[in-house]
Amino acid sequence: MTHDQAPTEDRETAPAHYRVAVIGTGFAGIGMAVRLKQAGLDDIVLLERAEDVGGTWRDNTYPGAACDVPSHLYSFSFAPNPDWSRSFSPQPEIWDYLRRVAKDYDVVRHVRFGHEVTEARWEPEGNRWRVRTTGGTVTAQFLVSACGPLADPSYPDIPGLDSFEGAVFHSADWDHGHDLAGRRVGVVGTGASAIQFIPEIQPAVSELRVFQRTPPWVIPRHDRDITALERRLFNAVPAAQRLARTCIYWGRENYVIGFAKNPRLLKLVEKLALANLRHGVKDPELRRKLVPDYTIGCKRILLSNDYYPALDAPNTDVVTDPIAEIRADAVITRDGTRHEVDTLIFGTGFHVTDSPIAQRIRNAEGVLLADRWDRGRRMQALRGTTVAGYPNLFVLAGPNTGLGHTSQLFMLEAQIAYTMAALRYAHDHGADRLEPRAEAEEAYTRWVQDKMLGTVWVSGGCDSWYLNDQGRNTTLWPGFTWDYKLRTSRFDARNYRLRTAPGAGRPRRRARTRPAAAAGRRSP
């Protein structure tokens, strides 16, 4: 069996074995594969459940889908795109970018499409991960979960939903074959996806009812076409685009001062958001419904110029009374009102704090990572990347590596660099197994949660997707992203248990590692 064949497992044929297996081909998976190949490691496989690369930017094709981070910052540092058409990239361009990077860096040939992971189990006797997929089984010495938190749509548990006779779909699984023209549409949710597709569908539908649980803070979106002259400049002088990227990065980092250091500074941003509301909504009663009662930044700040005007349109009704049940042709709210609809669209986000891939990863004792994390209540990992009890496993976009203010790719690249440093250390020291010490993971987690205290994300008075069901923020990094990059710039070997591979010789060189005691003063 060659690595170009789809691996299968039976009694006569052993599964194909790889040095590294990567789950997923979104930004995390592609970025990981590129760095592995640049380091000369070609013995890798990427397991992808779909038939193309792209992750969330392949799947989310709803009308108006776009990034809320400026284009020049929302790309790999090693693969700038001088040809973005707009300052905030639309979904098709981002997906095209990912496919182009995967092709240009020779990643595609390592991908096994149609291979959804059903179980990954650590086998200590073979010192490997056995990964079962819908397309067969592979084994690997190291396993990288690159699934990301925005992979599996989340539906609320509403009585009667199964009885609805009209069309029902989630924004992440948009039904493009369902014509919305003239329809009576109900939208459940008012998060980042909803504020993008609501203005797109509002002019076409006959009636639009937006079922709002909590209003978001919305500030203007300063989007524009990137001129042909700018694109020529970025192509001819790459340093000019790097400068633009740097300026955007530091501008975004300034938000942390308000979010995590001095929340009183956010009053200025609240005034900007309220002015945006007054400009977009003329009806004073509707404006009252749309004013949040929590500190701005507690939930993700959203960007839009057309969301408020869409809600103020004559065919739109914003419903704030909670949904009690759904019937065959209507949504019934708690006050007893019957809202007749023939289409239901859910913009209710994703499974973030209860990571679905964690329900498929088992350690040597068979314990699911989801159970180790207590189904989201105790999600934690050293540097947000490695988990005690799960050797040779790296989790990209892991616990407390998410962001509420800037590009997630910055954190992903820092995690990828940390993973590469760990793999280099293992190679240089003849180690075939590495696992974070439980005490190091616990100390790091306590430090992160201590840093989280006083930030707007836990004290802003809202119930956000950043928090688990116990109110603990297991999602976000509690500070500046450059700080995280510094903390992951070296592999902290003293925080790990390493096993020397049988027959391994003396290490060719000693990697420079930061002493655990010194590291503990800033971050355990």
| pLDDT, tens digit, 9 for 90 and up, residues 115-160 | 999 999 999 999 999 999 999 999 999 999 999 777 778 889 999 9
- Mean predicted confidence (pLDDT) in 15-34: 97
Residues 6+ apart with CB under 8 A from 458: 452, 467, 471, 473
Which residues are CB-neighbours of 330 under 8 A, at least 6 positions away?
338, 339, 340, 341
Strand spans (E) along 278-420:
302-303, 316-319, 323-326, 330-333, 338-340, 343-346, 361-362, 393-395
Confidence bin at 524 (pLDDT 50/70/90): low
pLDDT of 354 above 80: no
pLDDT tens for 55-96 read: 999 999 999 999 999 999 999 999 999 999 999 999 999 999
What band does 5 get if pLDDT is binned at 50, 70 and 90?
Answer: very low
pLDDT computed for residue 151 by the predictor: 73
Mean pLDDT, the chain, as a whole number? 91
Confidence of residue 508 (pLDDT cuts 50, 70, 90): very low
Q: Is 11 helix (H, G, I), strand (E, B) or coil?
A: coil
The pairs formed by 333-342 with CB atoms below 8 angstroms and a separation of 24 or more are 333/211, 339/186, 339/209, 340/184, 341/166, 341/184, 341/185, 341/186, 341/207, 341/209, 342/166, 342/167, 342/183, 342/184, 342/185
Domain spanning 16-53+107-152+351-439+475-515: CATH superfamily = FAD/NAD(P)-binding domain (3.50.50.60)
Give residue-wise pLDDT tens across range 512-523: 433 333 333 344
What local confidence, expressed as pLDDT, does residue 504 receive?
56
The model's pLDDT over 176-196, given as tens digits with 9 standing for 90+, comes to 999 999 999 999 999 999 999
For domain 161-216+254-346, give its CATH number from 1.10.150.120, 3.20.20.70, 3.50.50.60, 3.30.300.350. Answer: 3.50.50.60
Q: Where are the domains of the chain?
A: 16-53+107-152+351-439+475-515, 161-216+254-346
SS3 (DSSP) at 476 = strand
* Percent residues over pLDDT 70 in the chain: 93
Confidence of residue 376 (pLDDT cuts 50, 70, 90): low
Angle formed by the axes of helices 27-38 and 408-428, nearest 10°: 40
Residue 228's Cβ-side half-sphere holds a number of Cα atoms within 13 Å equal to 0
Fold matches, 16-53+107-152+351-439+475-515 and 161-216+254-346:
yes
